Amino acid sequence: MDVLTKEQRRLNMSRIRGRDTKPELLIRKGLHARGYRFRVNVTSLPGRPDIVFPKYRAVIQVNGCFWHGHDCHLFKMPASRQDFWEEKISANRERDRRTNQSLSEAGWRVLTIWECSLKGVKRRLPDEVLTCCEAFLQDVTRNVANIRST
């Protein structure tokens, strides 16, 4: 049973952003301060990646643990409407897999930063996450990588 009324839940859900989230802004500001230049939400690429580095032929996806069904301490399947949420999150995971595959086939390297790496009890220091991002961008032999909580 949901503890919020339908109107309260609708208001909460309407305020969830798909772009310019706090974790995404933290990564963008940190990498920009370190001298990296990028494009944001490039619609011509599969999945409209959050951060695109044409110079390095790399993209960074900043994923929310709940919406993308990450197996971590921040993800908990809702108790209400379980069938709906299982189907929704499963479809999101499948879409992420297809998107990453399409990007790889097009010659792009993909780094996924999970929300839990920047938030929660097991988070990493922001500087550590940014250093991992830099290492990924500089190492052209790495095609796919993930940054998650410790």
Is 82 in contact with 117 (CB distance < 8 Å)?
no
- Higher-pLDDT residue of 103, 9: 103
Confidence bin at 2 (pLDDT 50/70/90): low
Q: Is the confidence at residue 109, as pLDDT, over 90?
A: yes
- Higher-pLDDT residue of 94, 10: 94
Mean pLDDT value of segment 112-120: 94
Crossing angle of helices 126-138 and 22-33, rounded to 10°: 60
Q: Which residues, at least 6 apart from 110, have a Cβ–Cβ distance to it below 8 Å?
A: 49, 58, 59, 61, 100, 103, 104, 143, 144, 145
Residue 10 has a pLDDT of 74
Q: Is the confidence at residue 30, as pLDDT, over 90?
A: yes
Q: Is the confidence at residue 119, as pLDDT, over 80?
A: yes
The type of residue at 140 is: V
Confidence bin at 11 (pLDDT 50/70/90): confident
Q: What is the pLDDT of residues 55-88, one digit of tens each?
A: 999 999 999 999 999 999 989 998 888 999 999 9
Percent of the chain residues past pLDDT 90, beyond the cut: 76
| Domains in the chain: boundaries | 17-147
Residue 81 has a pLDDT of 84
Which CATH number is correct for 17-147, 3.40.50.620, 3.30.1280.10, 3.40.960.10, 3.30.2020.10? Answer: 3.40.960.10
The type of residue at 93 is: R
